[in-house]
């Protein structure tokens, strides 16, 4: 009969020891497939242990499928097809986590990282505590797929005051970042649609479309934005644009082009416009531009915005405003999804907006970015290259364009910047097949935490 | 020359008033397309206002594209193609937000809502405050696409202690809910793959696949889980299973079937297994079953788990453990994505796990659910239907099966329950084409906040 020496038990309990022994013997074939095991009673007696211990052991082995029982016949070893082998795991550092890599450059003008010193920690912490105290029941309730009504109401109010948009909270869908919402929109509008992104543009957007395996064209822009002829030529159904402030060119789409696009979109039921309004809060002069969404009468514009630019990129809250017909589609097709933003963050943000803190924060940040921008431009204008540098599209958003006179060698200039620790992106990098006209242009993000270093580095260009 | 009566200005600033007047006239055609506007100086003189006001107005109108300027010629009205019309918005209550609907039933045995009274608010609040104070800089840093290293390390430790799994933090990918991770996996494994889900099964999983427009088959199960022959027959590439505790049947997949599946998966490079271990923490008797992931030597098993069952469904944190080869793919294909979980939640959860609070919480919840289960079963056994009811698969997870003797009319019984305010799902509801063998079975979730009401309602069945 099956016997194991209890001397080898070590610190295991009797039950654990027995379980491991039998399991091992079944796996290595010592106990053959379909071999009968001793009855509980006789096994216990043989080992000098209690029947309950054997019972527990058999019961666990049975749950895991190592043994099976036949009524009135007893217990048998299961037929394990493969043999167990120790799995080789990758070494801790085997897999490089590229995104973890520390940035080695001093003055990174390509970073979109938020400056942690500007986040309203005190207010946020205060509101969080309030939410935790006052909303315990609501915090544990599953919100609708589109997000909590509180946050959707707060966003609707904000859009009214800040963008002159009249939208109902039902039209608002909250999600964990715009990248997530792009994916959700593909599920809503269809994988069979042809999507279009601006060329040049923010490369992540095209990556999201490609990664969802949908057709995605790069739509060339002229001075007013994407060209309608290009949309027609590429048979684009859904165009993803940022008319309020295009990245990286800084173009604000004029009203005439807006109406051209609205006319294009309304002429086929499969067409839609995604209006990505990612940094409209940071316009420095004049009134903000009215959104396409607010002049759209054909219910064809999906408005999208995010709190990652205004608050922090590590708070993953974005939202979209759907036209009424798509709201219905959303609930019937995608209403089964759980909202991806924790209720906790949603309630805190709702209080933050509702209490007027968000508006104050935006105003404070706008001033701060204005100052940062001016000091970077000032440093550029007092540099030895000053007369060869032109600053463009500086009135909106969190970056500007810099044009070098064509008699400077761009490569040489970039190398000089690099030697001073300045990282900067040429405009060409944002193009699919960059045209000659994009040469000598550079994109300067000046909002990052290392802004002082940027100014300092510019001053030290020799 | 263009003249507007300042009497009508109201509370607007001069600049705003002028802007609105000109914009309106361009939109309604009073100022024709390409018509020349007065020069700034003459217009200011004519209106009796300062040149700067006109300058600001023109500048804003130009940014928005209502007017344009030609060098040395002056300003002209743009050619606006469409006319602006007031957009009709849906009424507040026009769009029904179905998910918002209040549940009208007293004792809902279909709900998976967490009981807010069980959430460890005090500990969570304490850790949150700590994170806010000590981690301000880290909170504002963009984490890698897979999540913060802190949380990944904490999860790796947890998996080691709790599931006997040896995984490196690099293999762990954190995301805002399993539904989100399913979508991410489709992007990783391919839209051209054929996916398979368990039949019967949790209907949301199939919905996610369908919604991503990939082929998805319902794989029939026998008593040991999904059948390998069915996988072969349907040409399934990726099978999505919950071997530790199947929902809703409660089946624990025996080791023999596990090895059959591992043998199936390793025989083609396109094949993968998604092991959804959604409620393994709540096993009531015996040791938890070792995961498929830990006996997989071919690097073909993707392990997935969530904190929505153990903590709260409103905390959207789930994770998957990728085999090493897929970790590399993930970073090259999807490394551009931002992690969808706020850093704040990630750090708090990492402290919660690292501080041993998570283990304590699970133990507490296991006991609580055990008690809840017993009281529901007890109520069933003291009911007038007691001798006609059998309770099955009650040793694991957060639900059990109830079988009615075939001489009770299921419809009649369901109606009786309904009249007592009890909502319960027949097993058939989880099948695509339910077999006769599923008749008379019902699924009872007993963990919800209204558990007392369930017991009470059962006691009142007449």
Q: Which residues of A touch B68 (CB under 8 A)?
A: 254
Taking an 8 Å cut-off on Cβ atoms, the answer to whether A212 and B191 are in contact is: yes
The dihedral region occupied by B213, where left means phi > 0, alpha psi between -120 and 50, and beta the remainder, is left
CA A223 to chain centre: 30
- In 3D space, the residue among A279, A272, A278, A281 whose CA is nearest the CA of residue A323 turns out to be A272
Taking an 8 Å cut-off on Cβ atoms, the answer to whether A171 and B95 are in contact is: yes
Residues 6+ apart with CB under 8 A from B409: none
Q: Which residues of A touch B213 (CB under 8 A)?
A: 187, 190-192
Residue of A nearest to B286 (CA): A60
- pLDDT (0 to 100) of residue A377: 85
- One digit per residue, the tens of pLDDT, for chain A of length 462 reads 888 888 888 888 888 889 889 988 888 888 988 899 999 999 999 888 999 899 889 988 887 778 888 888 899 998 776 444 434 444 444 443 433 334 455 677 776 666 667 889 889 999 999 998 898 888 888 899 999 999 999 999 999 988 889 999 999 999 999 999 999 999 999 999 999 999 999 989 999 999 999 999 999 999 999 999 999 999 999 999 999 889 898 888 988 899 999 999 999 999 999 999 987 777 766 666 789 999 888 899 999 999 988 888 788 999 999 999 999 999 999 999 999 999 999 999 999 999 999 999 998 988 888 888 888 888 888 877 778 888 887 776 678 888 888 777 777 777 877 887 778 888 888 999 899 888 888 888 887 656 677 777 777 665
HSE of A54, CA atoms in CB hemisphere, 13 A: 19
- In this predicted structure, the answer to whether residue B377 has a pLDDT above a threshold of 60 is yes
Candidates A22, A52, A92, A97: best to mutate against B (most CBs of B within 10 A) is A97
CA trace torsion A49, A50, A53, A55 (10° rounding): 120
Residue A328 forms contact with B (CB below 8 Å): yes
- pLDDT (0 to 100) of residue B322: 97
The answer for A 412-431 residues in CB contact with B (under 8 A) is none
- In this predicted structure, the answer to whether residue B194 has a pLDDT above a threshold of 70 is yes
- pLDDT (0 to 100) of residue A98: 38
Residue A120 forms contact with B (CB below 8 Å): no
- Least confidently predicted of A239-253, B117-131, B225-239, B390-404: B390-404
Distance (Å) from the alpha carbon of A384 to chain B's nearest alpha carbon: 30
Token pair for A167? 């939208």
- pLDDT (0 to 100) of residue B101: 38
Residue B362 forms contact with A (CB below 8 Å): no
Q: In what order do the strands lie in the sheet with A172-175?
A: A172-175, A318-321, A301-306, A272-276, A238-241, A195-199, A216-222, A225-226
Q: Which residues of A touch B54 (CB under 8 A)?
A: none
Taking an 8 Å cut-off on Cβ atoms, the answer to whether B170 and A87 are in contact is: no
Q: How far apart are CA B111 and CA A334, in angstroms?
A: 19
- pLDDT (0 to 100) of residue B190: 97
Q: Strand, helix or coil at B370?
A: helix
- In 3D space, the residue among A441, A462, A364, A461 whose CA is nearest the CA of residue A399 turns out to be A441
The residues with which B74 forms a beta bridge, in sequence order, are B70
- pLDDT (0 to 100) of residue B109: 75
Token pair for B429? 């509801």
Mean pLDDT of the residues in chain B: 86
Q: How far apart are CA B208 and CA B230, in angstroms?
A: 21
Q: Which residues of B touch A90 (CB under 8 A)?
A: 168, 170-171, 324, 327
Q: How far apart are CA B216 and CA B209, in angstroms?
A: 6
Taking an 8 Å cut-off on Cβ atoms, the answer to whether B140 and A116 are in contact is: yes
Q: How far apart are CA B435 and CA A240, in angstroms?
A: 47
Taking an 8 Å cut-off on Cβ atoms, the answer to whether B98 and A260 are in contact is: no
Residue B433 forms contact with A (CB below 8 Å): no
- Please list the alpha-helical segments (H only) found in B97-227: 121-134, 136-139, 149-163, 178-189, 203-211
- In the DSSP assignment, the letter for residue B309 is T
Candidates B31, B56, B62, B63: best to mutate against A (most CBs of A within 10 A) is B63
Token pair for A51? 């029947």
Residue A461 forms contact with B (CB below 8 Å): no
pLDDT bucket at B106, cuts 50 / 70 / 90: low
Token pair for A21? 């022994």
CA trace torsion B258, B260, B266, B271 (10° rounding): -80
Taking an 8 Å cut-off on Cβ atoms, the answer to whether B312 and A139 are in contact is: yes
Token pair for B439? 């008749």
**Burial (CB count within 10 angstroms: exposed 0-12, middle 13-18, buried 19+), residue A79:** middle
- pLDDT (0 to 100) of residue B398: 79
| Higher pLDDT, residue B301 or A98 | B301
pLDDT bucket at B337, cuts 50 / 70 / 90: very high
Q: How far apart are CA B446 and CA A75, in angstroms?
A: 33
Distance (Å) from the alpha carbon of B6 to chain A's nearest alpha carbon: 21
The residues with which A399 forms a beta bridge, in sequence order, are A445
Residue of A nearest to B291 (CA): A64
Q: Which residues of A touch B79 (CB under 8 A)?
A: 256
CA distances from B399 to A91, A112, A357, B291, B376 (A): 39, 46, 44, 20, 11
pLDDT in tens, B32-76: 888 999 999 999 998 889 998 998 899 888 877 788 888 888 999
Residue of B nearest to A204 (CA): B336
- pLDDT (0 to 100) of residue B411: 77
Quickly list DSSP for B377-434: HHHHHTSTTGGGEEEES-SSTTEEEEEE-TTS-HHHHHHHHHHTTEE-EEGGGGSSS-
- In 3D space, the residue among B366, B358, B364 whose CA is nearest the CA of residue B285 turns out to be B366
């Amino acid at each position: 009969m099956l016997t194991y020496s209890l001397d080898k038990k070590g610190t295991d309990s009797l039950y654990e020891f027995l379980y491991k022994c039998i399991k091992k013997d079944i796996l290595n074939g010592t106990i053959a497939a379909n071999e009968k095991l001793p009855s509980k009673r006789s096994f216990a007696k043989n080992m000098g242990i209690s029947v309950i211990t054997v019972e527990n052991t058999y019961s666990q082995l049975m749950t895991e499928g190592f043994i099976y029982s036949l009524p009135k016949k007893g217990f048998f070893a299961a037929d394990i097809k493969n043999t167990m082998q120790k799995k080789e795991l990758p070494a801790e550092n085997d897999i490089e986590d590229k995104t973890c890599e520390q940035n080695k450059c001093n003055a990174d003008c390509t970073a979109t990282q938020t400056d942690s010193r500007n986040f309203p920690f005190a207010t946020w912490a205060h509101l969080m505590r309030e939410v935790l105290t006052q909303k315990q029941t609501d915090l544990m309730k599953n919100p609708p797929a589109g997000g909590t009504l509180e946050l959707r109401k707060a966003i609707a109010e904000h859009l009214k005051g800040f963008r002159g948009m009249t939208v109902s909270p039902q039209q608002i869908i909250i999600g964990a970042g715009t990248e997530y919402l792009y994916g959700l929109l593909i599920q809503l509008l269809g994988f069979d649609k042809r999507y279009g992104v601006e060329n040049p543009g923010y490369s992540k957007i095209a990556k999201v479309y490609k990664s969802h395996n949908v057709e995605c064209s790069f739509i060339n822009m002229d001075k007013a934005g994407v060209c309608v002829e290009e949309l027609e030529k590429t048979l684009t159904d859904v165009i993803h644009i940022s008319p309020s402030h295009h990245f990286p060119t800084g173009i604000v789409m004029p009203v005439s082009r807006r109406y051209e696009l609205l006319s294009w979109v309304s002429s086929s039921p499969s067409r839609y416009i995604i209006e990505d309004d990612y940094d409209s809060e940071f316009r420095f002069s004049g009134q903000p531009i009215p959104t396409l969404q607010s002049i759209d009468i054909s219910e064809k514009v999906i408005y999208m915005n995010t709190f990652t630019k205004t608050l922090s990129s590590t708070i993953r809250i974005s939202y979209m405003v759907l036209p009424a017909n798509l709201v219905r589609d959303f609930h019937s097709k995608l209403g089964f999804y759980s909202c991806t933003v924790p209720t906790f963050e949603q309630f805190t943000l709702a209080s933050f907006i509702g209490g007027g803190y968000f508006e104050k924060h935006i105003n404070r940040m706008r001033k701060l970015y204005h100052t940062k921008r001016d000091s970077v431009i000032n440093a550029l204008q007092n540099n030895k290259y000053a007369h060869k540098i032109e600053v463009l599209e500086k009135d909106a958003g969190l970056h500007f364009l810099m044009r070098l006179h064509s008699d400077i060698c761009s490569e040489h200039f970039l190398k000089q910047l690099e030697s001073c620790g300045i990282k900067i992106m040429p405009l060409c990098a944002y193009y699919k097949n960059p045209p000659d006209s994009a040469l000598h242009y550079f994109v300067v993000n000046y909002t990052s935490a290392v802004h002082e270093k940027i100014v300092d580095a510019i001053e030290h260009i020799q």
